[in-house]
Structure 1
Amino acid sequence: MLANNPSILITGEIDEALIQQLTSKGFNVDVIPFIKTESIQSAIIQQEIEHIATIDAIIIFTSSHAVEAISHLLSNKKINWKVYCVGEKTKYVIEHLLPAVSVADYADNAIHLSQKIISTNSINEVYFFCGDKRMDTLPRLLASNNITVHEVQVYTTTIFEYALNRYYDVVLFFSPSAVRGFFTSNTIDEKTALFAIGNTTANEIKRYTSTNIIISEKPGKKELIEKLVEFFE
């Protein structure tokens, strides 16, 4: 058990098992999600997804939320997609919710994934399933290398703004949107340790503070929690 029971703020949804892992080691944990994602329910988008399902296509997912938003429309369809994605979690969700598709490759962030797609020298058109607040990095890099990007927004992200009136020893961020929500109404004490799930989220934090940021080697919530525990050992 930890001697001083560090206080942890987690700014996104997280499995109860990971919370219990922290509390069992003596951490005081608050979970306050600063974002909420919802699938877009639209006949037009549904028709577009169903059309894409009928063609041989290169598909990109940068978030597991996008996979979850479309999977129910594809459960009984034979799909011939070659998929590229960001993150091991997204890859895992694809393999479980869309087992008929092939994950050609994945990377730890949008820049590295773009580089992998560009380096094939054989891809000139992709379909990008994303949210309404997606980062511009991937479509910009692909377009600058003459790859046509068909963007299909399949979920929305609502950002919440909560003013917190207490100090935390640690704040964990899982997404750039949660970072923006947090810093809209809050600042960071110089003694607070900041943890980010990946470089994209860390870069967003740097827009608001010069505090040192600790990043997990792999972009997963479990990996970030392990990094946090290691930090205090």
Structure 2
Amino acid sequence: MHTLLSTKKLTEKNKVKLENSGFLVVEKNFIKTKSIPFSLNEVSENLIFTSKNAVKSVLPFKKELIDKSAFCVGEKTKKQLEKNGFKVIFQAENAETLANKISESFNHLRFTFFCGNIRKETLPNILKENQVELNEIVVYKTKLKSHKISIKLDGILFFSPSGIKSYLLENEIKNETCFCIGNTTAETLNGKTSNIIIAKKHKIEAVLKACIKYFKQKK
């Protein structure tokens, strides 16, 4: 039986899916997010969201934002936006793809990026290089919450760059295979390990699918 660590608590359905595939699953939340106060003094007509946490954090201002156009990363971020009445113009699997699409097709528009206090420079840098007008509003805070893992692991499931940083505060990556939700998350492992599998889609279920497939092929 292979032992997996998920660096975030899974839904019961997803945990059972792994257990039914023959895994022993250990779950710990390695990051904690919290909405923080912010103002809407300068908000453009086009909004960028790269996480569900950002969407959740702006919902108290839904009335002021609902008529604006949304651009996002991830299917679940899109679903959450649409569930709350936002019109999503374009959804990408990662920040780089989203930034490139905006630069190519929407570079005449102004954007506001709702983000957390810890975020990659990928999207802002690409937009800046392509002279796309952008301002950022930090709407939530990510806190690293590391745990020492003493048992031997065969695989680790990572869902964000912050989750990796938190894990590495108390642990080392040795021979474990790391399953990442996207390229941005995987890049955080550069220099730490080459045992990396990237999910085909930017969603938790895709990470689980990649993990199950990998270990099934190893039998």
Residue 181 (structure 1) aligned with residue 177 (structure 2): no
Change (3 A) 1:121 1:33: closer
> Is 1:19 matched up with 2:23?
no
Q: Which runs of 5+ in 2 are unaligned?
A: none
Aligned equivalent of 2:199: 216
- Percentage of identical aligned residues: 33
Give the match's secondary structure for 2:152.
Answer: coil
Bigger shift: 109-118 or 119-128?
119-128
C-alpha contact 1:124 1:146 (8 A) present in aligned 2: no
Tell me the distance in 2 between the aligned counterparts of 1:176 and 1:122: 28
> Which of residues 55, 63, 69 in structure 1 aligns to 2:57?
69
For 1:73 and 1:222, how far apart are their aligned partners in 2?
30
Matched, 1:232 2:212: no
In the alignment, the residues of structure 2 paired with residue 225 and residue 194 of structure 1 have an alpha-carbon distance, to the nearest angstrom, of 11
CA contact (8 A) 1:59 1:129 kept: yes
Corresponding letter in the other structure for 2:170? S
Shift of 1:160: 1.6
Please state how far the C-alpha of 1:121 moved relative to its aligned partner. Answer: 4.9
CA contact (8 A) 2:33 2:53 kept: yes
Q: TM-score, normalised by structure 1?
A: 0.87
Task: Provide runs of 4+ in structure 1 moved above 4 Å.
Answer: none
**TM-aligned CA deviation for residue 122 of structure 1:** 4.2
Matched residues in 2 for 1:229 and 1:159: separation?
28
Deviation at 1:124? 3.9
**RMSD, matched Cα:** 1.7
Displacement after TM superposition at 1:129 (Å): 0.4
Q: Is the 8 A contact 1:167 1:189 kept in 2?
A: no
Structure 1 residue 104: Cα displacement: 0.7
* 8 Å Cα contact 1:117/1:123 also seen in 2: no
1:108 match: 93
CA contact (8 A) 1:198 1:219 kept: yes
Conserved in 1, the CA contact under 8 Å of 2:73 and 2:94? Answer: yes
CA contact (8 A) 2:159 2:185 kept: yes
2-structure distance, mates of 1:170, 1:124: 43
Aligned to 1:30: 26
Using structure 2 for the length normalisation, give the TM-score: 0.92
Distance 1:158 1:92 in 2: 25
**Distance in 2 between residues matched to 1:78 and 1:32, nearest whole Å:** 34
Q: Deviations over 1:82-128 (max 9, x none)?
A: 111111111111111x21x2111111111110010011154342100
Partner AA of 1:173 in structure 2: F
Task: Confirm or deny: 8 A CA contact 2:174 2:193 kept in the other structure.
Answer: no
